[in-house]
């Protein structure tokens, strides 16, 4: 009897990586249980728009063919794709409206634009998700791992995979001192329903996505299509897009003595964005100025989590996706890395589970998985961090900036040169000093081996007070 048949694999989090993992394990006949703290798939709405590019072959290889055929259901504009339209991801100077950079167009086979909810809906097909299961503790023993939940229930498995997002409770249990890094950038986002006439000036520039930075004040904006009338066969639907505005959190920005923090109310947020947009060129200015005062704005402090290449767990719980390597969205690679995480894991553990291998062999495979993911994702996280910083520093936006360079799973990023130079520039501008100490690739040990832990150490209780406020991307 294999390990997977004796006890199931516990998947914490029904985001993209958790559901994709469950789908692939099911194809191999390996038992898994999926737990999600939300009430249902509708809880988070449409979510972010996602560009899947270098992870697309992996996604298709991990799914059964009938779900691969359904991927167009998640497209933000199916008719546009059928008409062979694609994005060039244009980048503009917001002060003049001048196009500064763009990417070559790519066919549907190489790049797709989807909503997170649409993709999750497809990945959830046939998967039994246990909803309203907020994790409260993780307990590992020599032959099993047990997850306990706030409702008093528990589940025991042979392995636990943490797919519970940037604010991962599993990660907090395993590595309580490993904290998200606070990038000195603030963001406000709003979802807009627009008529064909209202969205035309934007779609004339690009049918899916566009972005830009103001060359005089370093404000940044991106507009992302989330839904379109052609996706619906019933009553008329508007275009739905997401507009995100971000700014550098530093003294002196926008003539403010103190850094500008996220405003507390929608009214204040609306007013701040209008103030930024006053000097934007068209059509960005009109789009921002036309946002109704009643709009609901979401605030976000940009954070990331570069994993040390030396990071290792020691027991039966491992991290995946944002729980392992939360990534700023300025290169659009977070979901792509999460998908490759799934492939890196199943390629290593499925043969062992199917062959009834022992835990020592399985643990070695998990070590290989963690090394592969950390080696791939760490440069990606740090490149995305620099892309975020560059997006709010016009002089840094060159053809060599990670904001504009080619997207690839194995990005070439020299941490010492890139980050140290960035700190030097920020210090020279008399901005808030960016502490890059968390980027140092120092050995980062996981929890001690089970034999060296007390019972109290093994049963890590997570109190509600320890969680605080957190943002989860759930990839």
Determine what percent of the chain is predicted with pLDDT higher than 70. Answer: 87
The model's pLDDT over 242-289, given as tens digits with 9 standing for 90+, comes to 999 999 999 999 999 999 999 999 999 999 999 999 999 999 999 999
Q: How far is CA 156 from CA 17, 135, 138, 448, in A?
A: 21, 13, 10, 21
Report d(CA 324, CA 475) in Å as an integer: 10
Q: How far is CA 303 from CA 185, 217, 309, 381, in A?
A: 9, 22, 19, 10
Give the residue among 439, 448, 442 at the shortest CA–CA distance from 313. Answer: 448
> What mean pLDDT, rounded, does the chain reach?
89
Predicted pLDDT at 94: 99
The model's pLDDT over 457-474, given as tens digits with 9 standing for 90+, comes to 333 333 222 222 222 233
What are the residue ranges of CATH 3.50.50.60 in the chain?
3-78+114-181+304-467
Strand 239-248 and strand 181-194: pairing?
antiparallel
What are the residue ranges of CATH 3.30.9 in the chain?
183-303
Beta strands in 13-76 (DSSP E): 32-35, 49-52
Mean pLDDT value of segment 223-245 = 94
Report the sign of the C-alpha dihedral through residues 49, 375, 467, 455, in that order: positive
201 phi and psi angles, rounded to 5 deg: -60, -30
The model's pLDDT over 88-140, given as tens digits with 9 standing for 90+, comes to 999 999 999 999 999 999 999 999 999 999 999 999 999 999 999 999 999 99
Helix/strand/coil (H/E/C) assignment for every residue in 111-149: CEEEEHHHHHHHHCCCCCEECCCCEEEEEECCCCEEEEE
Q: How far is CA 396 from CA 94, 100, 256, 385, in A?
A: 15, 13, 22, 13
Mean pLDDT value of segment 53-71 = 98
Helix (H, G, I), strand (E, B) or coil at 7: coil
Are the CB atoms for 459 and 139 separated by under 8 Å? yes
Predicted pLDDT at 15: 98
Predicted pLDDT at 418: 63
Q: Which residue has the tokens 């062999």?
A: 361
Among 222-231, 376-385, 434-443, 457-466, where is mean pLDDT lowest? Answer: 457-466
User: CATH number of the domain at 183-303, please?
Assistant: 3.30.9
Mean pLDDT value of segment 15-38 = 98
Report d(CA 318, CA 373) in Å as an integer: 11
Q: Is the pLDDT of residue 2 over 80?
A: no
Record: fold of 3-78+114-181+304-467: FAD/NAD(P)-binding domain (3.50.50)
Rounded to two decimals, the pTM is 0.88
- Reported as a pLDDT band with limits 50, 70 and 90, residue 353 is very high
103 compared with 6, residue with greater pLDDT: 103
Report d(CA 210, CA 90) in Å as an integer: 5
| Residue 459, strand partner residues | 139
Q: Would you state the structure tokens that stand for residue 150, as one six-digit string? A: 């706030």
Report d(CA 445, CA 443) in Å as an integer: 6
Among 162-176, 265-279, 429-443, where is mean pLDDT lowest? Answer: 429-443
Q: Which residue has the tokens 């960035």?
A: 422
Predicted pLDDT at 236: 86
């Amino acid at each position: 009897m294999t390990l997977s048949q004796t006890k199931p694999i516990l998947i914490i989090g029904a985001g993209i990586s958790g559901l994709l993992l469950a789908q692939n394990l099911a194809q191999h006949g390996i038992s898994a249980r999926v737990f999600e703290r939300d009430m249902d798939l509708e809880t988070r709405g449409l979510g972010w728009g996602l560009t899947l590019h270098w992870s697309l072959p992996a996604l298709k290889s991990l799914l059964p063919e009938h779900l691969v055929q359904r991927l167009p259901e998640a497209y933000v504009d199916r008719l546009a794709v059928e008409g062979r339209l694609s994005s060039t991801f244009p980048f503009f100077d917001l002060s003049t409206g001048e196009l500064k950079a763009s990417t070559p167009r790519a066919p549907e086979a190489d790049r797709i634009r989807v909503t997170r909810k649409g993709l999750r809906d497809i990945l959830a097909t046939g998967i039994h998700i246990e909803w309203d299961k907020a994790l409260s503790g993780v307990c590992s023993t020599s032959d099993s791992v047990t997850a306990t939940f706030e409702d008093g229930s528990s589940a025991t498995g042979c392995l636990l995979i943490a797919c519970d997002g940037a604010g991962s409770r599993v990660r907090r249990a395993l590595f309580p001192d490993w904290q998200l890094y606070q990038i000195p950038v603030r963001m406000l986002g709003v979802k807009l329903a627009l008529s064909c006439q209202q969205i035309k000036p934007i779609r004339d520039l690009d049918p899916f996505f566009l972005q830009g930075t103001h060359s005089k004040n370093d404000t940044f904006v991106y507009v992302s299509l989330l839904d379109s009338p052609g996706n619906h066969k019933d009553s008329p639907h508007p275009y739905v897009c997401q507009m995100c505005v971000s700014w550098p959190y530093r003294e002196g920005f926008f003539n403010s003595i103190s850094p500008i923090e996220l405003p507390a109310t929608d009214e204040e947020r609306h007013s701040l964005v209008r103030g930024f947009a006053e000097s934007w060129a068209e059509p960005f200015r009109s789009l921002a100025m036309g946002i109704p005062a009643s709009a609901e704005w979401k605030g976000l402090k940009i954070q990331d989590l570069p994993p040390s290449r030396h990071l290792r767990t020691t027991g039966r719980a491992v991290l995946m996706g944002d729980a392992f390597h939360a990534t700023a969205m300025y290169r659009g690679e977070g979901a792509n890395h999460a998908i490759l995480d799934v492939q890196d894991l199943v390629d290593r553990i499925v043969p062992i589970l199917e062959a009834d291998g022992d835990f020592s062999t399985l643990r070695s495979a998990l070590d290989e998985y963690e090394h592969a993911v950390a080696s791939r994702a760490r440069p990606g996280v740090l490149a995305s961090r620099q892309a975020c910083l560059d997006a709010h520093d016009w002089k840094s936006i060159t053809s060599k900036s990670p904001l504009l360079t080619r997207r690839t799973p194995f990005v070439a990023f020299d941490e010492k040169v890139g980050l140290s130079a960035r700190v030097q520039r920020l210090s020279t501008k008399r901005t808030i000093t960016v502490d890059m100490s968390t980027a140092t690739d120092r050995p980062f040990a996981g929890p001690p081996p089970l034999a060296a832990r007390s019972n109290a150490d093994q049963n890590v209780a997570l109190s509600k007070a320890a969680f605080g406020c957190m943002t989860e991307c759930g990839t």
